Structure 1
């Protein structure tokens, strides 16, 4: 178990920097470590569909600086993906964000997801790593795990190792993270704060077939991206058109069969009348 961080008196809000003072540009972190780190967050964002919050009350981001300590305003972490609910989609309702400054926003993320990279295990997993790192040196920034657990107190923290498809879920319980059991044959968890599930979906995204983290509903149905919704609507429209065409064809066939039956009946009646006349019988004056 990690040691709690001692609380310090906070500076006044007027003295603290805001997002405009704390951007995400960092020459020491030039880019994403691999393609997965760029694609997976896109799928998470595209399939995120909350029923308890409107789109204007949701902010999610990846590879964006998350400033967390008003006593050390230059300290930040850069989550691979995080979600905040109950906050304006735009900064102060006006502009897109260049970073997320927790003391300025007054709302912390409800979930953070990290994708393990070579060398980040101890930073991401803290005491749950195979080789936990030493406690942070006084005056130095703590690890991501410590920040998420003890400073921001994020209720849901997930770590995914893409090479071996291992998903780990940490839930904040009494101020500390407890790892939650996940059935290996069904990598699916439920996030109560947002009423959504998250699981491992085997499919193709951006032309790449492999397992991906993806949101689902309470019944385990995968939530669709906008492109998938459009394709589904077009497919349903195509099927409806085909069904309408089949109905029309069946109606035409039924009318043709009715016409032919009527024509055959008329021909049979004409033959019968011709026969009766050949026998000297007037078909129009048959005895009753």
Structure 2
């Protein structure tokens, strides 16, 4: 009997287009998800069961064009393919049908269907959390700058707050002022369950640099104190020597005093 393998007839990532030749609309759409990925790469450095894609095509159904989120996070997949191979696209039927748990869209000046067509597609795919970041200077209509939706019974339900805890991921997502690559503005960050912002690698490096500098300063202060004590001891020794010398000049033996 001939064994039928449905995956045998589905296109692979190597056979599917991995670029639509459409440039990123603005710098922010690249920087924001890259910052989030950098934080995770530090936070989950020992974990190999996650993947965060940026401006990468997600193929969710054979014969259907890929959808390209600004960022997406999948859990329970290989961080890197066998042999350290990097993904060309995220192809569901090559990823054990694991749908991204979280998707990010950064609204640009040119409308991109983030609130309608893309939202509908993500819901049909089964993406659990959908985050839309709409910077103030592109703000329009009734939408807020930061919105997080959770899929409930096939429908996205808006979650309250500027920090939203996502228990299935073990992370919160939110926005606040910060500095990234020298630019101070509002950025998206990951948070712990208590609402504490998880640091970016650059912040960790800066904190370590500051701690090292503080340790260097403390060591220098200790060295200076030790030097001052040594100088005081030498001064006292000289004073004692001078005193003993004067006593002997006067015919007095200091050893018998």
Q: What is the TM-score of this pair, normalised by structure 2?
A: 0.83
What are the residue-to-residue correspondences of 1:49-128 with 2, within 5 Å? 49=41, 54-70=46-62, 73-92=63-82, 94-106=84-96, 107-118=98-109, 120=111, 123-126=113-116
What does residue 176 of structure 1 align with?
Answer: 155
Separation in 2, partners of 1:93, 1:31: 30
Superposed displacement of residue 259, structure 1: 2.4
- 1:263–1:221 distance in 2 versus 1, CA, 3 Å: farther
Cα deviations across residues 209-248 of structure 1 (Å, max 9, x unaligned)?
A: 2111122334444333334433333332232222112111
Superposed displacement of residue 179, structure 1: 0.7
SS at match of 2:115: helix
Quick one: which of 20, 28, 45 aligns to 2:14?
20
Separation in 2, partners of 1:218, 1:191: 9
SS at match of 2:100: coil
Superposed displacement of residue 82, structure 1: 0.4
SS at match of 2:169: coil
Separation in 1, partners of 2:171, 2:50: 14
Rg bigger for which structure? 1
Query: Does 2:40 match 1:48?
Result: yes
Separation in 2, partners of 1:40, 1:84: 17
SS at match of 1:76: coil
What does residue 128 of structure 2 align with?
Answer: 155
**In 2, are the aligned partners of 1:149 and 1:176 still within 8 Å (CA)?**
yes
Query: Which piece of structure 1 moves more, 210-219 or 33-42?
Result: 210-219
What does residue 226 of structure 1 align with?
Answer: 201
Higher relative contact order (CA 8 A, sep 6+): 1
Quick one: which of 201, 208, 221 aligns to 2:183?
208
- 1:146–1:98 distance in 2 versus 1, CA, 3 Å: same
SS at match of 2:40: coil
Separation in 1, partners of 2:196, 2:242: 61
What does residue 24 of structure 2 align with?
Answer: 32
What does residue 130 of structure 1 align with?
Answer: none
Q: What is the TM-score of this pair, normalised by structure 1?
A: 0.74
Quick one: which of 140, 145, 153 aligns to 1:166?
145
Query: Which piece of structure 1 moves more, 169-178 or 104-113?
Result: 169-178
